[in-house]
Amino acid sequence: MIVLGCAGVNPANILMYIPASSRSHVSAWEPLARGLARSGHHLTFVSSYKLQPEVNFTQILVKSKALKEIDEDFRSILLASDSVLGHIWKLLRMIYLFPDRMAEIHDEALTEMKYVLNKKWDLVIANPFLNEVGIILGDHFQVPTIHFLPANAEQFLSFSLGHPDNPAWSHPSADSLVSRSVVLLINI
């Protein structure tokens, strides 16, 4: 362990991509981003919330009207005192508009990134929830990609990501050999 701590580290160019995120998502990602920057890596952080500058830490701020609209719709649904039918209508409208708004957010992010798209990257870190474009960027740059989700995913997302032990499953039998085998077989 001491040898590893003394060994020099070659700084990497790391892209962290989460333009479609809430403030809490950015708060969960920020310690990792800053830790990598403080370790000497050159980090580019693509997000929709402004962070304080730091050495080796470059932020590409995505100012998306679509993300603001999603946030406003979500708040209006949560805080509404509408009738049940009015509530359902708002929810259906939000679901209908969601794919186009997400496409708009990522289009704006890629436009903001135009000056760094030709840069040589060593690693892409992307959130596999609403920010799948980051995973595509890793493939485009032909570099390793880490899917970073700083909290347990719900069951459907865990299955789709191929988590063999499905960490979001909280049923009492989740730790049984049979349950774990079924989850493993489903994901194969």
Task: Spell out the domain ranges in the chain.
Answer: 9-68+102-151, 152-188
pLDDT digits (tens, 9 = 90+) for 129-160: 788 888 889 888 999 988 887 766 666 666 66
Predicted confidence at residue 10, as pLDDT, reads 82
Residue 64 contacts residue 52 (beta carbons within 8 Å): no
pLDDT digits (tens, 9 = 90+) for 63-103: 889 888 888 887 877 776 767 777 788 888 888 888 899 89
Structure-block tokens of residue 57: 């830490």
Mean per-residue pLDDT, 7-23: 83
Q: Is the pLDDT of residue 187 over 60?
A: no
Question: Helix, strand, or coil here: 58?
Answer: strand
State how far the Cα of 142 lies from the Cα of 88, in Å rounded to an integer. 43
Predicted confidence at residue 5, as pLDDT, reads 40
pLDDT-derived band at 42, boundaries 50, 70, 90: very high
pLDDT-derived band at 165, boundaries 50, 70, 90: low
Question: Helix, strand, or coil here: 56?
Answer: coil
State how far the Cα of 44 lies from the Cα of 154, in Å rounded to an integer. 28
Residue 102 contacts residue 131 (beta carbons within 8 Å): no
161 versus 7: which is more confidently predicted? 161
Pick the CATH number of 9-68+102-151 from 3.50.50.60, 3.40.366.10, 3.40.50.2000, 3.10.530.10: 3.40.50.2000
